[in-house]
Structure 1
Amino acid sequence: MYSKLKETIEEISNIEVSQERKDVLQPLVDFIEQKSKENATIRLNFICTHNSRRSHLTQVWAQAMALHFNIKNVFCFSGGTEATAMFPKVAETLQNQGFQIQKLSESGNPVYAVKYNENAHPIICFSKKYDDVFNPESNFAAIMTCSQADGGCPFIAGAEKRIPITYEDPKAFDGTNLMDEKYAERSLEIASEMFYVFSQIKK
């Protein structure tokens, strides 16, 4: 894993996760642990409205934490109730926190390769609907990362489990002098919670 990313993980390992949030995260812990015990493939699809900010942050951090805690067979995806584009500040924030990011296309919905380890396959990030062919069709957990998607999608076809783990949208600070700070803050909050989730998996 890249040294700067290791430093960020060391930093977020000291962030306290409240009991209230631990209770929210427990169904995800249970899902991953059960699959791990069965030596089954663990597919996680993180879903928000536009697949532009929170769903990508959770996808990327969950995949990195699976490696950090050596949890095998974890494959993380993301999607939205509609496709837009991954917001550029998300890529910038993740790069500042230690990921290596390459922009693969310059379209209105650009594709990014996000690497967290020298020898691991990069995470491919672009905005898509949650049921896009790029994502799994069945045998996955649908993690709802925003209240709009959680309320608007009571049923996710093919999902074994539907788990609401919602976050505040950093979009509220777009164009303000707090923008960089708030995107970094939200990313680290998500990172600390994904750290907690994967730290609970018994190998």
Structure 2
Amino acid sequence: MNLYPTLQAHIEKAQALPISEERGAIIQVLIDYIQKKFDQDQDINLNYICTHNSRRSQFSQIWGKVAAAYHGIDMNSFSGGVEVTAFNERAVESIKRFGFKVSKEGEGNPKYFVLYSDDEDPIVAFSKVYDDAANTPTGFAAIMTCSHADENCPFIPGAEARIPVRYKDPKAFDDTDQEAEKYDERSLQIASEMLFVFSKIKK
């Protein structure tokens, strides 16, 4: 797999970030889930969920897929929310800065086609509810990426596991001079943790 050069550089930067003991304990649950599915030769389906499916869950879907591909693991990456909004344009600009190639189709709640390599199919990213037809209906782990969705969705139909991996919302910095920095900071953290997760899967 030939990653785009700017993206490859950001992946190397993400891999160099330390994982704290606290965060390590949180994502170990995800590692264990993936390892079990891998060992049993079952499909690995991860649905990253936050309230609006606009920022953190989109970053997670994208970086989860890239991290799995980077480490040679077949994984189906999805995302969803409890409300439909749109893939936030600030988050889209952040992934562009990281070296992804992005094309857009439609308005309002457009579909974005996110490429990380010319050798791979694009990741299709748009805001949707977690049980949208684009997502697998059963046999998946619900990865809860925000506290609001985690606390207000006590039951996710079809999920065989529910794993909280919460991230702070970069939305708090919208329209400030720190906006781009904070979106990139969150994206890099998610990249770092997803790369760490898939690096720990024993083949």
Q: String of CA shifts for 1:170-202, please: whole Å, max 9, x gaps.
A: 000000000000000000011111111011101
**Residue aligned with 1:196, SS:** helix
Q: String of CA shifts for 1:150-177, please: whole Å, max 9, x gaps.
A: 0000110000100000000000000000
1:49 alignment partner in structure 2:
51
Q: Percent identity?
A: 50
1:33 alignment partner in structure 2:
35
Deviation at 1:89, TM superposition (A): 1.0
**Residue aligned with 1:78, SS:** strand
Paired AA for residue 143 in structure 2: I
**Cα distance between partner residues in 2 of 1:117 and 1:32:** 24
User: Of residues 19, 22, 25 in structure 2, which corresponds to 1:20?
Assistant: 22
1:6 alignment partner in structure 2:
8
Deviation at 1:27, TM superposition (A): 1.1
TM-score, normalised via structure 2 length: 0.97
TM-score, normalised via structure 1 length: 0.97
**Cα distance between partner residues in 2 of 1:123 and 1:104:** 13
Deviation at 1:119, TM superposition (A): 1.4
**Cα distance between partner residues in 1 of 2:105 and 2:29:** 35
**Cα distance between partner residues in 2 of 1:150 and 1:103:** 30
1:145 alignment partner in structure 2:
145
TM superposition outliers: structure 1 runs of 4+ over 4 Å: none
1:192 alignment partner in structure 2:
192
2:160 alignment partner in structure 1:
160
Q: What are the equivalent positions in structure 2 for 1:90-109 lying under 5 Å apart?
A: 90-105=91-106, 107-109=107-109
2:81 alignment partner in structure 1:
80
**Residue aligned with 1:148, SS:** helix
1:70 alignment partner in structure 2:
72
Deviation at 1:98, TM superposition (A): 1.3
Deviation at 1:37, TM superposition (A): 1.2
1:178 alignment partner in structure 2:
178
**Cα distance between partner residues in 2 of 1:120 and 1:140:** 23
**Cα distance between partner residues in 1 of 2:118 and 2:35:** 27
**Cα distance between partner residues in 1 of 2:5 and 2:177:** 29
Q: String of CA shifts for 1:4-61, please: whole Å, max 9, x gaps.
A: 1111111111100101101000111011111111221110000000000000000000
Paired AA for residue 52 in structure 1: S
**Residue aligned with 1:32, SS:** helix
Paired AA for residue 193 in structure 2: E
Deviation at 1:118, TM superposition (A): 1.1
Q: Tell me if 1:119 matches 2:116.
A: no
Gaps in structure 2 of 5+ consecutive residues: none
**Residue aligned with 2:133, SS:** coil
Paired AA for residue 197 in structure 1: V
**Cα distance between partner residues in 1 of 2:35 and 2:116:** 23
Aligned length, in residue pairs? 201
